[in-house]
C-alpha cells in the first residue's frame, strides 16, 4: 500500500513562488505514476501536473502551464511542484496522487485512474 505525504504549503502574495513536496513510501519496484491535483472550496478536483515514470514526459493544466514545474527524485521517492507567479486563483488544497496503472498515462490529469492519495497541503495566495 502506497503512502503519500505532502509538505511545503503555506501563504504567499500574488506573484510569489512556493514549492511543495510529496514523499512516497510503501510501494514496490513497479513504476509509480504520480501527479498533482488541487481543489478549491466549492470547486471540483482539478488535475494540475503529471510526470511519467517511464520517459519523464510532463503534462500540465492550461491554467498553470509556463508557471508550474513538476519534477521527481526517485532516489528520494519524492515528487515536487515548483509554483511561480502565483495568482489568487491558485489558492487550493494541493494533493499528491499515485498509481501503478498505465491507464494514468492516457488521462494523466483525470483523478479516476489514481489509486493512492495524500492528505493534502494548503496553498493560499493573496
Res 104: pLDDT: 87
User: With 0-12 CB in 10 A as exposed, 13-18 as middle and 19+ as buried, what is 67?
Assistant: middle
The Cα 111–Cα 82 span in angstroms is: 20
Query: Could you report the per-residue pLDDT of 17-38, keeping only the tens digit for each?
Result: 999 999 998 876 777 889 999 9
* The residue to which cell 514523499 is assigned: 23
User: Is 104 strand, coil or helix?
Assistant: helix
Beta strands in 15-110 (DSSP E): 18-25, 33-39, 46-51, 58-60, 68-73, 78-83, 92-99
pLDDT band at 114 (very low <50, low <70, confident <90, very high): very high
Amino acid at each position: 500500500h502506497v503512502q503519500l505525504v505532502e509538505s511545503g504549503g503555506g501563504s504567499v502574495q500574488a506573484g510569489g513562488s512556493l514549492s511543495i513536496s510529496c514523499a512516497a513510501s510503501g510501494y514496490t519496484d513497479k513504476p509509480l505514476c504520480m501527479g498533482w491535483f488541487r481543489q478549491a472550496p466549492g470547486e471540483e478536483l482539478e488535475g494540475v501536473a503529471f510526470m511519467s515514470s517511464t520517459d519523464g514526459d510532463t503534462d500540465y493544466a492550461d491554467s498553470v502551464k509556463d508557471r508550474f514545474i513538476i519534477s521527481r527524485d526517485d532516489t528520494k521517492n519524492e515528487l515536487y511542484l515548483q509554483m511561480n507567479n502565483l495568482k489568487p486563483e491558485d489558492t487550493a488544497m494541493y494533493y499528491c496522487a499515485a498509481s501503478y496503472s498505465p491507464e494514468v498515462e492516457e488521462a494523466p490529469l483525470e483523478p479516476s485512474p489514481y489509486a493512492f492519495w495524500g492528505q493534502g497541503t494548503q496553498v493560499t495566495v493573496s
